């Protein structure tokens, strides 16, 4: 049975990838440090409990930056690195933790991947590396405007530096605003749906005209696994839904799906907030067979259904 290591296995995207890999017949070694930085670790522990009920899954509670990874990486054919400290706002406050989780951890992980001759490493990156306007294909300039984006771009550069000096085989995926069932509770769509359901008030940063390219979780999972199997090394792919909405439009879609409205407060935009994201995904379509299937309304309906007990 082919072994795949998924780091950040108890996160939103990592847990979904783990479930899909197991359903396809892989053995998954999950790694996560179950931290509390962005939201309660109880959310991750609940995901872990669900994963532990599956066959062909094992778990190690490890911090990639400081713990011994040999036993987990040895014998692995593939590694998918979903472990990171995400979020642009918090990165201004606890930058050293972002450096540890997003840079030091990557360097240590890649060292072990080279040691144990892993066939392919997939690195989860983000549109945030492109800066205020993440619009276009993978060749647009990278000019991050938050510490989070800076650390994720540094991780990308680590791959290329090592790739030039070794036989490291890797792919980098720049995710664009992933949403859907299991989304982190600190993320906008989850907050919107939950507050509308409970008749709370929504806080929208700025005037709501900033635009986002949203990508549904199952489409992201399919693209990530496809990139794992993609033989060519050193490629960056935009993993984006390919449709753009203003924040105000996203809120109105949430109103439509929930069937009710809520009061909106417009509040000051945080430092490092992107103005516009719109990823050209034609390269991923051509090389990975990427084909986003879930439109925004259906995706929001699926996410809302998954939140029935919240």
What is the average per-residue pLDDT within 189-214? Answer: 96
What is the average per-residue pLDDT within 125-147? Answer: 97
pTM of the complete model: 0.97
CA–CA distance, 182 with 96 (Å, rounded to integer): 27
Residue 115 has pLDDT above 90, yes or no: yes
Residue 41 has pLDDT above 90, yes or no: yes
SS3 227: helix
Q: What angle do CA 150, 153, 159 make, to 5 degrees?
A: 145
Return the closest-CA partner of residue 254 out of 208, 309, 207. Answer: 208
pLDDT band at 87 (very low <50, low <70, confident <90, very high): confident
Q: State the pLDDT at residue 90.
A: 81
Q: State the pLDDT at residue 310.
A: 78
Give the start-to-end residue ranges of the domains of the chain: 3-179+216-241+278-292
pLDDT band at 89 (very low <50, low <70, confident <90, very high): confident
Residue 88 has pLDDT above 90, yes or no: no
What is the average per-residue pLDDT within 80-93? Answer: 90
What is the average per-residue pLDDT within 19-36? Answer: 97
**Mean pLDDT estimate for the chain:** 96
Report pLDDT digits (tens) over 148-186: 999 999 999 999 999 999 999 999 999 999 999 999 999
Q: Which residue has the tokens 């082919």?
A: 2
What is the average per-residue pLDDT within 66-78? Answer: 98
Q: Kindly name the residue from 78, 148, 175, 245 that is annotated as catalytic.
A: 148
Higher pLDDT, 30 or 37: 30
What's the number of CA atoms in the CB half-sphere (13 Å) around residue 103? 15
Q: State the pLDDT at residue 272.
A: 87
> How many other CB atoms sit within 10 Å of the CB of residue 199?
10
pLDDT band at 38 (very low <50, low <70, confident <90, very high): confident
- Respond yes or no: is residue 148 known to be catalytic: yes
282 secondary structure, DSSP code: H
Residue 309 has pLDDT above 90, yes or no: no
Report pLDDT digits (tens) over 220-278: 999 999 999 999 999 999 999 999 999 999 999 999 999 999 999 999 988 888 999 99
Residue 216 has pLDDT above 90, yes or no: yes
CATH of 3-179+216-241+278-292, one of 3.30.365.10, 1.10.3720.10, 3.40.50.720, 3.30.70.1050: 3.40.50.720
Locate 216 and state its tokens. Answer: 């549904």
């Amino acid at each position: 049975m082919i072994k795949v290591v998924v780091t950040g296995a108890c996160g939103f995207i990592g847990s979904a990838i783990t479930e899909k890999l197991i359903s396809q017949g892989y053995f998954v070694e999950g790694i996560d440090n179950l931290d509390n930085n962005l939201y309660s670790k109880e959310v991750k522990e609940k995901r872990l409990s669900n994963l532990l009920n599956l066959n062909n899954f094992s778990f190690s509670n490890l911090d990639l930056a400081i713990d011994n990874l040999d036993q987990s990486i040895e014998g692995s054919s593939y590694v998918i690195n979903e472990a990171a400290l995400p979020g642009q706002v918090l990165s201004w406050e606890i930058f050293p933790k972002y450096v540890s989780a997003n840079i030091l951890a990557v360097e240590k992980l890649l060292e072990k991947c080279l040691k144990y001759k892993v066939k392919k490493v997939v690195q989860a990156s983000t549109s945030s590396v492109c800066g205020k306007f993440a619009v276009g294909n993978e060749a647009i300039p990278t000019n991050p405007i938050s510490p989070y984006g800076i650390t994720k771009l540094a991780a990308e550069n680590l791959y290329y530096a090592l790739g030039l000096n070794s036989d490291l085989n890797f792919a980098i995926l720049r995710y664009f605003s992933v949403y859907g069932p299991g989304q982190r509770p600190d993320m906008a769509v989850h907050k919107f749906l939950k507050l509308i359901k409970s008749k709370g008030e929504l806080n929208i940063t700025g005037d709501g005209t900033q635009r986002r390219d949203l990508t549904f979780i199952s489409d992201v999972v399919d693209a990530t696994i496809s990139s794992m199997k993609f033989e060519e090394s050193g490629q960056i792919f935009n993993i984006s839904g390919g449709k753009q909405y203003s924040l105000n439009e996203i809120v109105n879609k949430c109103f439509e799906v929930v069937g009710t409205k809520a009061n909106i407060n417009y509040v000051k935009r945080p430092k490092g907030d992107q103005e516009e994201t719109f990823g050209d995904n034609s390269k991923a379509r051509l090389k990975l067979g990427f084909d986003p299937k879930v439109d925004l309304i259906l995706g929001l309906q699926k996410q809302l259904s998954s939140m029935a007990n919240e």
